[in-house]
Amino acid sequence: MENYQGIMTIVSKKELVKDVYEMVLEGEAAKFIQTPGQFINVKINDSLQPYLRRPMSICDYDENHITIIFKVVGEGTQILSQKNIGDTLDCLTGLGNGFLDFQAQKAVVIGGGLGVPPMYNLAKTLKNHGVEVQAVLGFNSQNDIFYQKEFMDICPTYIATMDGSVGVKGTVIDALKENHIEFDKYYACGPEKMLDALVLTYPENGYLSFEVRMGCGFGACMGCSCKVKTKPYKRICVEGPVLMSSEVIVNG
């Protein structure tokens, strides 16, 4: 898929929950996002520090705008959170192979923590393709929940929290089972342990979006490789981030 480097302007910014920010970017580079599940690589500063761009999953997009949601976890995201409306960012867009299979009778989108954002546009896209969609979102606690209403505006939405403060107590798999959710395909993004558990429980008919540390974002450094069954490795940044559940080798 074609990628593009361009300057994007911050037109909206808000803190959704503690240290988790939603930011809307505007610019021509948005036109190069072709499918849900792709990502952008953001240069945080004009200086050399931090040196590496930061990969950001895409929550939503149109031909002029890209919405990202990120959590402050280090120096780069801390600097990004301090940017203001009107500031500009150097972005590489149209990166990665996203979700391409929208053919299903019933589908469930599953997001865990910061894996929730890319499921949002995917849920809308599946619904627009006539698919009966449901969503399962997993968080640590009530204080971490974001975008519940936005998902509920699209489809039936179920919450799992590890402490049981909202919804089902436990994991997204617990929520799938306790709510008797039926599906012929599932789409998921979240922590590696969550994805591994999904593959072990539902080895077929799944699409997993991996969120890993990346160096270059276009396959040169091999820093984001993942073991698969069909070859020694696939690079998450170019051959992913979306992989089929049937080809993934579960860690541990």
Q: Are residues 64 and 169 in the same domain?
A: no
Q: Are residues 82 and 141 in the same domain?
A: no
Coil vs helix vs strand at 229: coil
Q: Are residues 133 and 219 in the same domain?
A: yes
Q: Is residue 101 in a domain?
A: no
Task: Report how many domains make up the chain.
Answer: 2
Q: Is residue 219 in a domain?
A: yes
Residue 147 φ then ψ, to 5°: 65, 15
User: How far lies 67's CA from each of 30, 72, 91, 179, 208, in Å?
Assistant: 10, 16, 13, 30, 21
Q: Are residues 81 and 117 in the same domain?
A: no
Q: Whole domain around residue 186: which residue ranges? A: 106-247
First to last CA, the chain: 33
Based on its alpha-carbon atoms, the radius of gyration of the chain, rounded to whole angstroms, reads 17
* Complete DSSP assignment for 176-200: HHHTT---SEEEEES-HHHHHHHHH
Q: Are residues 24 and 112 in the same domain?
A: no
User: How far is residue 144's CA from residue 165's CA, in Å, rounded to a whole number?
Assistant: 11
Peptide bond into 50 cis (omega under 30): yes
Q: Is residue 252 in a domain?
A: no
Q: Are residues 115 and 88 in the same domain?
A: no
CATH code for the domain in which residue 65 is found: 2.40.30.10
Q: Are residues 137 and 42 in the same domain?
A: no
Q: Is residue 51 in a domain?
A: yes
Residuewise pLDDT in 10s, the chain (252 residues): 677 899 999 999 999 999 999 999 999 999 999 999 999 999 988 766 676 788 999 999 999 999 999 999 999 999 999 999 999 999 999 998 899 999 999 999 999 999 999 999 999 999 999 999 999 999 999 999 999 999 999 999 999 999 999 999 999 999 999 999 999 999 999 998 999 999 999 999 999 998 765 555 555 555 556 656 666 666 666 665 788 788 776 775
Q: Is residue 225 in a domain?
A: yes
Q: Is residue 223 in a domain?
A: yes
What letter would DSSP give residue 155?
S
Interval 77-108: pLDDT, tens: 999 999 999 999 999 999 988 999 999 999 99
CATH code for the domain in which residue 207 is found: 3.40.50.80
User: How far is residue 168's CA from residue 149's CA, in Å, rounded to a whole number?
Assistant: 17
Triad 50, 56, 62: Cα angle to 5°? 130
Chain mean position to CA 225: 18
The position carrying tokens 């450094």 is: 221
Q: Are residues 24 and 46 in the same domain?
A: yes
